Amino acid sequence: MSGTPKGKTNGADGATLHERARLSFDLDVDICVVGAGLAGLTVALEAARLGASVAVLEGRHVGWNASGHQLGTVMPGYGLPLSQLIERIGFEDARELWSLSKEGAEFVRANASEEKMPGIALSEGALEVSNVDVGNQLISRLQMLSEDFETEVEGWQIDRVRSELRTDHYFHGVYYPKAFQIDGRKYVHGLAMLARRAGARIFEDTPVVSIDASGIRKRIVTPSARLRASHIVLAGNIHLGAPLRRLSETLLPVWRYAALTAPLGARLDDVIAFKGSVADTDGIDHFRIVDGDRLMWASPETTWAARPQRFGRAIERRIRTVFPKLGPVEIAETWGGAVGETVHGMPQIGQLRRGLWVASGFGRQG
Ligand SMILES: Cc1cc2nc3c(=O)[nH]c(=O)nc-3n(C[C@H](O)[C@H](O)[C@H](O)COP(=O)(O)OP(=O)(O)OC[C@H]3O[C@@H](n4cnc5c(N)ncnc54)[C@H](O)[C@@H]3O)c2cc1C
């Protein structure tokens, strides 16, 4: 994981820096959120907007893990493909979950507006491409998405895909015009800023070491202070650890790595005309153009942690395999983060016991 400098955290506009505050005094709140990633901060923002007193306890700093290192593609859906979701829980429940995910995307869009998060740079459209020629499956999928799941989509034939992406690696595509991209690394800090403005208090360098969730007022212990809260929300993803080890052990940690190329100039336009983000249906590649002529590309995944720099060459090779016409590319930056995969492929959201909540396991679709 690449991190922000110790002691300071970038704001959404990169200009507002604030000192990290560690919790060093005892506190009583309505809601204690463990973890300041996308999940924890989203809960904190919404709860504070509803008038609850909220404390977020973050062991490292805002966006330390996956949430501060993601690519920023926002679209409906979950890690589990829609067809499998329907198979598992039935059509009606799948429709309800899909519609919740659409609301989630709109929630991000509303927060990531220019006036709330200056410089967040929202761009439209995402394209899902298949690695194999399966035109028939595409047509039935399109019908289902647009008619049954009320999602705006366009089917792109191979020619159209290949006029936007000059490679013979990809075949048909599903275009989501309402999906969008944000600067993912800025969004999490923007979320923290909005949550603070709504009244939530965020304490960094404050790991939660244990909880006692048995009473009406729950107890939370950190190395330097104790909290009491009516509700605890566990949003620590794979790093939750001691507060509820059994919960974090239900997640398979998967490290995902990404890279940003040096500027590629006009040759990038010659091979990639599409301006939104592209992901393949097998979940191997996920990329988009940033800063006009650079490629941001997430590719390899491992189940062990390694320095992101080790994966620069692998991503470079992958880019050259998919877009040989691009020629050599120089990798300027690499980073990674760990996502938590559940056995069922869906996030864990809900109440474990009275007043003890979980929001975790978002996998590669946060
Ligand atoms: C390279 C990459 C690209 C991605 N691209 C996308 C994308 O384009 N679109 C998309 O939707 N998703 C994407 N994802 C997935 C997305 O980033 C994750 O699903 C999401 O960020 C998970 O958020 P989270 O809040 O659950 O977890 P995290 O980001 O892991 O946050 C959990 C936080 O809790 C803290 N914590 C844990 N335990 C404790 C404790 N005991 N006490 C205090 N604090 C604790 C941790 O320090 C951490 O900061 C990507 C992920 C990666 C790695």
Quick one: average pLDDT of 172-177?
94
Cβ of 182 below 6 Å from ligand 1: no
CB 223 within 8 A of CB 209: yes
Looking at ligand 1, which atom is closest to the CA of residue 238? 30
Q: How far is the CA of 81 from the centre of ligand 1 (A)?
A: 20
Tell me what the pLDDT averaged over the chain comes to: 91
Q: Is the pLDDT of residue 18 over 70?
A: no
pLDDT computed for residue 304 by the predictor: 86
**Two tokens, residue 97:** 């979950």
What is the per-residue pLDDT across 280-320, written as a single tens digit (0 to 9) for each?
988 889 999 999 999 999 987 899 888 888 899 999 999 99
Ligand 1, residues 20, 32, 41, 65: which to mutate, most atoms within 8 A of Cβ? 65
The reply to whether 122-179+255-339 shares the fold of 8-70+186-251+344-360 is: no
Q: Which atom of ligand 1 is nearest to the CA of 364?
A: 15
Domain ranges for the chain:
8-70+186-251+344-360, 122-179+255-339
Note the pLDDT tens digit of each residue in 219-254: 999 999 999 999 999 999 999 999 999 999 999 999
**What is the CATH code for 122-179+255-339?**
3.30.9.10
CATH of domain 8-70+186-251+344-360: 3.50.50.60
> Quick check: CB of 364 below 6 Å from ligand 1?
yes
pLDDT bracket for residue 19 (50, 70, 90): low
Residue nearest to atom 31 of ligand 1 (CA): 37
Measured in Å, residue 265 CA sits from the centre of ligand 1 at: 32
29 pLDDT exceeds 70?
yes
Contact (CB, 8 A) for 173 and 154: no
125 φ, ψ to 5°? Answer: 90, 135
Share of the chain above pLDDT 70, in %: 95
User: Mean per-residue pLDDT for 321-350?
Assistant: 95
pLDDT at 321: 95
User: Which pLDDT band holds residue 7 (cuts at 50, 70, 90)?
Assistant: very low
Say what the pLDDT of residue 6 is. Answer: 36
Pocket test of ligand 1: the residue of 34, 237, 286, 348 to mutate, having most ligand atoms within 8 Å of its CB, is 237
Q: List C-alpha distances in Å: 184 to 38, 162, 357.
A: 10, 27, 25
**pLDDT of res. 136:** 74
Given a cut of 60, whether residue 15 has pLDDT beyond it is: no
User: Could you give the CA distance from residue 282 to residue 318 in angstroms, rounded to a whole number?
Assistant: 15
